[in-house]
Amino acid sequence: RRVVFSGIQPTGVPHVGNHLGALAQWQRIVKEAAAQPADSRDSLFFSVVGLHALTVPQDPIRLAIERRDMFAVLLALGLADPAAGAVVFHQDQVPEHAELAWYLNTVTPVNRLMRMTTWKSKLATIRNANSEDEIDDSMLQLGLLAYPVLQAADVLLYKTSHVPVGHDQSQHLELARDLAQIFNRAYPGRRKDGKGKGKGVFRVPEVMLTTHPRIQSLRDPGQKMSKSAPHPSSKIFLTDSASEIHAKIKSAVTDSTAGVTWDPANRPGIATLLQIYAGYSDRAGGVEEIAARYSDAMGIMRLKTDLAEIVSESLKGFRDEFARIRTEEGYLAAEERRGAERAREAAQATMREVRAAVGTT
Ligand code: TYM
């Protein structure tokens, strides 16, 4: 049986890039699982990863709001469906994540972490911010370097077989796969019958890359659409109103060639609009076919109008549900408790095995 795990940082409301890149795939997995017979159903874990958010400075009051909102987002997307064996929970309410991360730290080569593109780009940003090439000690913390180890712990803790993510996470998950193997070799444990060495605690997880490409920023098509980018108009939030969606798509940066063509290398702005269109219409994948319908002189304008309509319609159900759930404090708190309990049960079982294999019990 499959065990699916994935996580999202509670740093702001998710945007259509997060949705097409990851969350829509989670929704699909939940739907499929709900249709499976109960006795052979997959286990699905979707986590709001608050501990990861702490690797950059956070305002405590804002973080408290954002992690709760992200939880409400995942509920509103229908991801906590008991009929599908799906659990939504806060990573920071399950202490086993941090515990396992420590065990994994002890077998992680530091060089592997220093080769991560996320770490290197952070270093580059800090170097650029400082005129001399000297790095201010207070700007780089161990937690940021160790971020991918915590992510590996998230995944391995549930003996996960499948991790649905966007393309930007593949390097992190490659590390998770390697750490599973390194740890299994270092601590094979005993066979259940007591005769000889075991095979180790962890399953080596498979990455399920989304079929959607990385969605780029609406303002700067060279950059990915990012929760942390300062400009709200660079991204469409899942919670945006219909009029906000229309305004953002209308002002999206395109180019001065008339008519729509599929040419991602030379027309990245148009390509992003087509990708979002394909993602939210039933003709997913048909970017070229969609482009052909808008090839006339007024094509870009028509594309934008239709796209705004499609996105806004697709997100309407979610928007209403989110607005409703967000105000139901009691329901949210109960779901948070339920999720944490279910996740913790699985997490504790794995940690018992880890401790036994290592000799810390
Ligand atoms: P995060 O919170 O940055 O993003 C959540 C998911 O959204 C995808 N994504 C995108 N996909 C397409 N286009 C974009 N512009 C775009 N931006 C983000 C990401 O690939 C991701 O799947 N490190 C992770 C969180 C994490 C995690 C885990 C994921 C922590 N532990 C364990 C999987 C398993 C992160 O920062 O995702």
The answer to whether 97 and 80 are in contact (CB under 8 A) is: no
Concerning whether 224 is annotated as a catalytic residue, the answer is: yes
Q: Check residue 192 and give its pLDDT.
A: 82
The alpha carbon of 26 and the centre of ligand 1 are apart by a number of angstroms equal to 12
Exactly one of 159, 224, 235, 304 is catalytic; which is it?
A: 224
Mutation test residue for ligand 1: of 3, 5, 6, 8, the one with most atoms within 8 Å of CB:
8
Residue 129: per-residue pLDDT: 75
Q: What is the mean pLDDT of residues 301-322?
A: 96
State what percent of residues in the chain have pLDDT above 90.
80
Q: What is the pLDDT of residue 122?
A: 85
Domain 3-204+329-358: give its CATH code: 3.40.50.620
> Cα–Cα distances in Å, from 359 out to 49, 62, 356?
29, 41, 5
The pLDDT tens digits for 163-208 are 999 888 999 999 999 999 999 999 999 888 888 899 999 999 999 9
- Residue minimizing CA distance to atom 36 of ligand 1: 9
Q: Which of 5, 6, 16, 18 to mutate to test the pocket of ligand 1 (most atoms within 8 A of CB)?
A: 18
Q: How far is the CA of 226 from the centre of ligand 1 (A)?
A: 10
Tell me if ipTM is over 0.95.
yes
Q: pLDDT at position 137, please? A: 72
What is the average pLDDT score of the chain? 93
Pocket of ligand 1 (CB under 6 A): 5-9, 17-18, 21-22, 49, 52, 151, 154-155, 163, 165-166, 168-169, 172, 214-215, 224-225
Residue 337 reports pLDDT greater than 70? yes
Q: Can you tell me the mean pLDDT for 260-285? A: 90
Q: Output the CA 348–ligand 1 centroid distance in Å.
A: 25
How far does residue 103's CA lie from ligand 1's centre (Å)? 24
Which pLDDT score is estimated for 284?
57
Domains in the chain: boundaries: 3-204+329-358, 232-323
Instruction: Check if CATH label 1.10.240.10 holds for domain 232-323.
Output: yes
- Mean pLDDT along residues 269-281: 95
CB 351 within 8 A of CB 100: yes
The answer on pLDDT for 65 being more than 70 is: yes
Q: What is the pLDDT of residues 217-258, one digit of tens each?
A: 999 988 989 887 888 899 999 999 999 999 999 999 999 999
Looking only at the bridges linking them, the beta strands covering 86-90 and 162-165 are unpaired
Q: For 268-274, what is the mean pLDDT?
A: 96
Atom of ligand 1 nearest to the CA of 8: 2
Q: pLDDT tens digits, residue range 8-43? A: 999 888 999 999 989 999 999 999 999 999 888 899
The model's pTM: 0.92
The yes-or-no answer to whether 3-204+329-358 and 232-323 have a common fold is: no
Ligand 1, atom 20, lies closest to the CA of: 166
pLDDT of 185: 97
Three-state secondary structure along the chain?
CCEEEEEECCCCCCEHHHHHHHHHHHHHHHHHHHCCCHHHCCEEEEEECHHHHCCCCCCHHHHHHHHHHHHHHHHHCCCCCHHHCEEEEEHHHCCHHHHHHHHHHCCCCHHHHHCCHHHHHHHHHHHHHCCCCCCCHHHCCHHHHHHHHHHHHHHHCCCCCEEEECHHHHHHHHHHHHHHHHHHHHCCCECCCCCCECCCCCCCCEEEECCCCCCECCCCCCCECCCCCCCHHHCCECCCCHHHHHHHHHCCCCCCCCCCCCCCCCCHHHHHHHHHHHHHCCCCCCHHHHHHCCCCCCHHHHHHHHHHHHHHHHHHHHHHHHHHHHCCHHHHHHHHHHHHHHHHHHHHHHHHHHHHHHCCC
Q: Is 250 a catalytic residue?
A: no
Q: What's the CA-to-centroid distance between 132 and ligand 1, angstroms?
A: 33
Task: Report the pLDDT value the prediction gives residue 314, as an integer from 0 to 100.
Answer: 96
Q: Is the pLDDT score of 282 beyond 80?
A: no
The residue whose C-alpha atom lies closest to atom 31 belonging to ligand 1 is 151
Nearest to 79 by CA among 148, 6, 185, 184: 6
* Nearest-angstrom CA–CA distance, 118 and 148: 9
pLDDT at 131 over 80: no
Residue of 135 and 82 predicted with greater confidence? 82
